Amino acid sequence: MNRTFRESFLPPTRLLLGPGPSPVASEVLMAMAGQTIGHLDPSFIGLMSEIKTMLQMAFATSNEATFAVAGPGSLGMDACLLNLIEPGDKILIARNGVFGTRMCEVALRGGAQVIPLDFVWGTPVDPQSIEDALVHHRDIKFVGFVHAETSTGVQSDASAIAAIARKHGALTIMDAVTSLAGIPIKLDEWGIDAVYSGSQKCLSCPPGLSPVSFSPRAVEHVKQRKTPVLSWFLDITQVMAYWGGDKARAYHHTAPVNSLYALHESLRRLHLEGLEASFERHRAAHLQLLSGITALGLELLVDEPYRLPQLNAIKIPSTAHDAQLRASLLNDFNIEIGAGLGPLAGKIWRIGLMGEGARAENVDRLLNALKEIMSRHANEALSMAS
């Protein structure tokens, strides 16, 4: 069968201000376009070592088991959960959005006994509820939670949750997909045992890589497993050997060479800027957005102390049409924002100010577009009413 295909794909130019992916700097794209070399080439092995060191700095950890899994944040979730849990293990998982729910699904597929702990979407995980559950279920081995819930824009107190879990002898598994480089993460200080993130959020790298880190306690737990890790590809005892020392690196899989070029450049840019400066830039962009949407009569879903600066959940007013406004932003202004998920579908817009998106000129562009669209829609409504 003969088919005619278009010429080389040329993507439209969009300003990505949704829940991810985020805008990618031209320097990162240029790095990704570099000549592909072998994944065991000495130069590439040196690059991997630098990526590992920069990820340790971003996570604020000395964990030796810190590297990037060749897949998106969801694969990082698989890596953390499936390495640690064994069939029959009890795991307490806080659910205050889509991704806590997804953690439950992964753990169930791994044969764990999942004890879900539910919170209203748009509210943080309550550490006292974690404590109460661990007192009631004394044989819980793991506590899973989302640090920055992408579906709602809420931040939970990772330090308090980890301290409670550690007091009860449980290992912690933290989703940091949206938090890494956007808000502080202090793995060693907090005592987090396993964490996963994503390249396409505040790191402003193309999708497809998931930074992960495992504490020495977590690594020892994996080594003492009675059953093999369900996924050969994600077995960290093997992957660690691949990301190990320069002279003792064992072949495991063919790494996504060019994607790792991009991650290296995005991490290099992050550390040139400085972590604290990155956090402050995200915070400033959030406050600029908050001022603008307040002037437009819009409100945020999450109470002020728990808001993520990099993911803003905006309540949709009764006078606005969700899909129509998002379509106008995309088609007329080339700006992408996100819709609500689950019980918040049709009730919120999710505006991501992540990585390269967290810049004043981007916020101004979005606010000007929102103002014009909302004014246009209001005038159309008045015209129809008359």
8 A C-beta contact, residue 20 and residue 336: no
Please tell me the pTM assigned to this model: 0.96
Average pLDDT over residues 47-64: 97
* pLDDT tens digits, one per residue of 332-344: 999 999 999 999 9
Alpha-carbon span 239 to 213, nearest angstrom: 12
**Tens digit of each residue's pLDDT (9 = 90 or more) over 187-208:** 999 999 999 999 999 999 999 9
Label residue 100 by pLDDT band (50, 70, 90): very high
Which is nearest to 351 in space by CA: 386, 314, 318? 314
Please provide the CATH number assigned to the domain covering 26-271.
Answer: 3.40.640.10
Q: What is the mean pLDDT of residues 46-74?
A: 97
On average, the pLDDT of the chain sits at: 95
pLDDT tier, 380 (very low <50, low <70, confident <90, very high otherwise): confident
pLDDT at 280 > cutoff 90: yes
| pLDDT value at residue 382 | 64
Q: Is the pLDDT confidence value at 121 over 90?
A: yes
Mean pLDDT of 8-22: 96
pLDDT for 21 equals 98
User: Do the two domains 26-271 and 275-381 of this chain adopt the same fold?
Assistant: no
Share of the chain above pLDDT 90, in %: 89
Q: What is the pLDDT of residue 351?
A: 98
Residue ranges covered by each domain of the chain: 26-271, 275-381
How do residues 347-371 score in pLDDT, each as one tens digit? Answer: 999 999 999 999 999 999 999 999 9
Evaluate if residue 63 carries a pLDDT over 90. yes
> What is 275-381's CATH topology?
Aspartate Aminotransferase, domain 1 (3.90.1150)
